[in-house]
Amino acid sequence: MKLSSFIAFLCMAILASSCSTKRPLMPYEMCPGYSELGSQKKLIKSKVKYLKGVNVDIVQLRCLIAENGLMNVDIDFENNYRKKQQTEFLVSWYETNGMAAETDANWRMLILYPDEKRTIKLTSPNKLAKDFTIQIK
């Protein structure tokens, strides 16, 4: 009888473990490249290129594919300095095959005051844009 109880317990444990559901992905985990890189820090390093002497940091990226098929990206900029920082950034969008998607070539200005953190919300230009890079100068 002990053996049959053990087998029943084992079957119930296997059944319970197979029924467990995966937790939903966090928005930063939905950014293209995160699953391969495994950390927010590595994701930012792969997506962001700092030009010149930039005193503004990107501290987090969050991504979401909206119901309309467009990618929404939140970029958290932070100024850890005692002075006001003025910088510009450019986001380039790419299709899944690496080809450039329709991209606005205009740099966007950003002014951050001391210790300020600001989230910039962006939306991809079309449904084909599934990846991005950011340049900051």
pLDDT, tens digit, 9 for 90 and up, residues 15-37: 555 455 677 778 778 889 998 99
pLDDT, tens digit, 9 for 90 and up, residues 71-104: 999 999 999 889 999 999 999 999 989 899 977 7
Q: Where are the domains of the chain?
A: 25-136
- Whether domain 25-136 has CATH 2.60.40.3230: yes
SS3 label, residue 44: helix
Q: Which of 136, 132, 122 is nearest to 33 (CA)?
A: 132
Mean pLDDT, residues 39-67: 92
Exposure of 76 by Cβ count < 10 A (0-12 exposed, 13-18 middle, 19+ buried)? middle
Quickly count: other Cβ atoms within 10 Å of residue 57's Cβ: 19
Q: CA end-to-end span of the chain, whole Å?
A: 74
Work out the pLDDT band at 60, boundaries 50, 70, 90: very high
- Residues 120, 125, 129, 134: is their CA dihedral positive or negative? negative
**Cα separations in angstroms, 62 against 2, 98, 100, 106, 114:** 52, 20, 21, 22, 23
